[in-house]
Amino acid sequence: MRSETPPTWATFLIALGIMLLVVVMLWITTGKVKLKRDSYVMRDENPETFWAIIGGCVVVALASLVIAVPHFGPGG
């Protein structure tokens, strides 16, 4: 008998992927990534580091979505 709710881990991974993509869009729009309370990576000052952080977040978001989306649904 299949469950009517998706597995918790799939829900978590989908939420993680969506949140990371939203944060990446905000970072691209503002042009800076806040690392700590007083530490920023600016697109104009450190473009390589900025785009590396953006790329890493996109890769993690897409990987989590690719893993979790097939399992999301009734019965997982």
Q: pLDDT tens digits for 36-59?
A: 999 999 999 999 999 999 999 999
* pLDDT grade for 26, boundaries at 50, 70 and 90: very high
pTM of this prediction exceeds 0.85: no
Inter-residue contact 7 to 76 (CB < 8 Å): yes
Domain boundaries, the chain: 8-69
- Token pair belonging to 75: 């019965």
Q: Would you give the end-to-end CA distance of the chain in angstroms?
A: 12
Extract the runs of DSSP E, i.e. beta strands, from 1-76. 32-36, 39-42
